[in-house]
Amino acid sequence: MTTVTIQRAGGHVVRFTVRGHSGWAEYGHDIVCSAVSALTTAAANGLRQQAGVSRAVRQRHGELDCMVLGSPSDSEWNRADAILETMLAGIRSIAREYPGTIVVVEKNGPESGRDLQARGCNE
């Protein structure tokens, strides 16, 4: 099963982590994993390229961890929110279409980008 963990602070998604394999099909042929990977990678790239938001990303086999860094302006948050909430809506839609493959966990509270940077993540 794929676990998507969403960390919120101040109403914004400030971090998302994706771990695991959906188990829908064998590795390399799993459309659920491919769809989740496409959505989360596009969101991580969109934060920088479209929203202008600094972020730290760590990607390894079977895992993606992305965190917003610094203090984005209101307009940057608006663009980031649109990107991240769209990603989350897409993941939830896939989870409904393919039950038992994805679990979404949401957490609220402060989070810092420093711990992610210290673990070798890049912007």
What pLDDT is stored for residue 24 in this prediction? 84
- Say whether pTM exceeds 0.95: no
pLDDT digits (tens, 9 = 90+) for 54-111: 999 999 988 999 999 999 999 999 999 999 999 999 999 999 999 999 999 999 976 5
Top-level class of domain 2-110: alpha beta
pLDDT digits (tens, 9 = 90+) for 2-53: 999 999 999 999 999 999 888 787 877 889 999 999 999 999 999 999 999 9
Mean pLDDT (the chain) is 88
Residue 121 has pLDDT above 70, yes or no: no
Taking the domains of the chain in order of start, what are their residue ranges? 2-110
The 3-class secondary structure across the chain, one letter per residue, is CEEEEEEEECCEEEEEEEECCCCCCCCCCCHHHHHHHHHHHHHHHHHHHCCCCCEEEEEECCEEEEEECCCCCHHHHHHHHHHHHHHHHHHHHHHHHCCCCEEEEEEECCCCCHHHHHCCCEC
